[in-house]
């Protein structure tokens, strides 16, 4: 194993997104009265994060397969 892992989000960044999202939820519930208006940004952010992680995993798999192919060619 190469020990490579994709960069992770810092705790400060996660805390800032969490606080901002709580404000969005509070606004959606108290001012607008529509929970879906508050859930949509969270769903989009989580979806974007999962897509980013999946792309990192696919890149790592492709890199591993390429290293295996290069090693087999040398042999």
Quickly state the pLDDT bin for 1 (edges 50, 70, 90): very low
Helix 35-74 crosses helix 11-27 at what angle (to 10 degrees)?
150
Show the beta-strand stretches assigned E in 1-75. none
- Residue among 22, 47, 25 at smallest CA distance from 36: 25
pTM attached to this predicted model: 0.67
For the chain, how many structural domains are there in total? Answer: 1
Residue 50 lies in a domain: yes
In percent, the amount of the chain with pLDDT more than 70 equals 91
Asked if the structure places residue 38 within a domain, the reply is yes
CA dihedral 40, 8, 56, 21 (to 10 degrees): 0
3 pLDDT tier (thresholds 50, 70, 90): low
What tokens were used for 69? 């192919």
Domain that holds residue 63: 11-74
- For residue 4, being part of any structural domain is answered with no
In a domain, 3, yes or no: no
pLDDT for 20-46, tens place per residue? 999 999 999 998 888 888 899 889 989
């Amino acid at each position: 194993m190469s020990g490579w892992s994709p960069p992770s989000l810092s705790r400060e960044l996660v805390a800032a997104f969490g606080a901002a999202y709580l404000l969005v939820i509070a606004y959606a519930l108290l001012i607008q009265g529509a929970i879906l208006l508050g859930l949509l940004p969270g769903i989009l952010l989580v979806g974007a994060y999962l897509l980013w992680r999946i792309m990192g995993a696919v890149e790592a798999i492709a890199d591993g397969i390429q290293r295996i192919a290069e090693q087999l060619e040398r042999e």
